[in-house]
Chains A and B, each alone.
Chain A
Amino acid sequence: MEETRQKADSSELSDGLTTWPHLVRVEFLVALAAMLLLTVWSIVLDAPLEEAANPNRTPDPSKAPWYFLGLQELLVYFDPWIAGVMVPLLIIVGLMAIPYLDRNPAGNGYFTLKQRPFAIATFLFGFLGLWVIPIVIGVFCRGPGWNWYWPWESWDIAKHADLRNVNLTDLLGVHDATAAAWLGGLLVAAWYGLGAGFWLWKRKSLAMVQLGAARYAIVAFLWLSMAGIVVKMALRLALNVKYVWVCPWFSV
């Protein structure tokens, strides 16, 4: 084993390190530490079980475990088929696509900010903006009736948030259902059209040529979908916008 390692370190793999033993050894130690922590934790702390369920006294707010609260928070802004199906699906598919989309080897094996600004910004936007922050909002800012409470506000079960949700098309003065459906569809198409516009603007740049049209289309779709979630959240929180696009079959 030692001979294999030395050979790997000194010859054809001199630019890198072998997974065994360098990575696996550290992973094993971390796994042992995690098991030790969980064992001590489970012995020292009691499970936070509550009393038996009582249909006459349901909890308000009823919150999912903290790691699901980001998805539960998305249900405020989107219908369940988007928040519970499409978004998780896009997250999984998007993460699976990264190795095929990102062909830039810069940053492999060392830390950098200057060499990978777009990749790092995308990661931070997705992880912090779309995962950590919705969880924090769900855990700390949602109270009775799933109303928004700042941390310094007291929970008041008699508080009725004066929310009158409206569709974006209503805000724009279009009240006819057919016209609103067309306008909403156009707005969503225009949002994704930003990706096409950026391609036309920058298609001759080195980064775009290296990326290629197909990979760019997937990156642009995923990026605009991520940003679209934040835009919809902002529209809801700031203007009480319920839907951007309402049509007979679905609403976005």
Chain B
Amino acid sequence: MEAFWTILTMPDNIPIVAMLGAVVFLLGVWLRQALRHDRLLQQGGEEAVAEEMRK
């Protein structure tokens, strides 16, 4: 794991490590929101979704 750890902590690679974290986090946020909006839309909550997105 030494080479991997060296790559991971290289200053040059800080952005990609941050990007990987951001990709996972943002995909999680999107998926949670998408499932919630789909559920709301299925229950006829178009107004609630539109109001939430206007905020």
Interface residues of A (CB under 8 A from B): 15, 17, 45-48, 65-67, 109-115, 128, 132, 135-136, 139-140, 143, 149, 151-155
Minimum CB–CB distance for B26 against chain A, Å: 11
**Residue positions of B touching A, CB distance < 8 A:** 1-4, 7-8, 10-16, 19-20, 23, 30-31, 33-38, 41, 49-50, 52-54
A143 to B2, CA, bound (A): 12
User: Which of chain B's residues have a CB closer than 8 A to the CB of A140?
Assistant: 4, 7-8
* In the complex, number of A-B residue pairs with CB atoms less than 8 Å apart: 62
B31 partner residues in chain A, CB cutoff 8 A: 113
Please, how many angstroms separate the alpha-carbon atoms of A169 and B31 in the complex? 43
The answer to whether B38 and A48 touch across the interface, beta carbons within 8 angstroms, is no
Contact B4 A48 (CB under 8 A): no
C-alpha spacing A241/B34, complex, angstroms: 40
Interface centre among A15, A17, A113, A115 (most CB of B within 10 A): A113
State which of A109, A114, A139, A152 has its C-beta within 8 Å of the C-beta of B16.
A139
Contacts of B14 in A (CB 8 A): 45
Question: Which residues of chain B come closer than 8 Å to A132, judged between CB atoms?
Answer: 19-20, 23
Chain B: which residue is nearest A45 at the CB level? Answer: B11
Contact indicator A154/B53 (Cβ below 8 Å): no
Closest Cβ of chain A to B19, distance in Å, is: 8
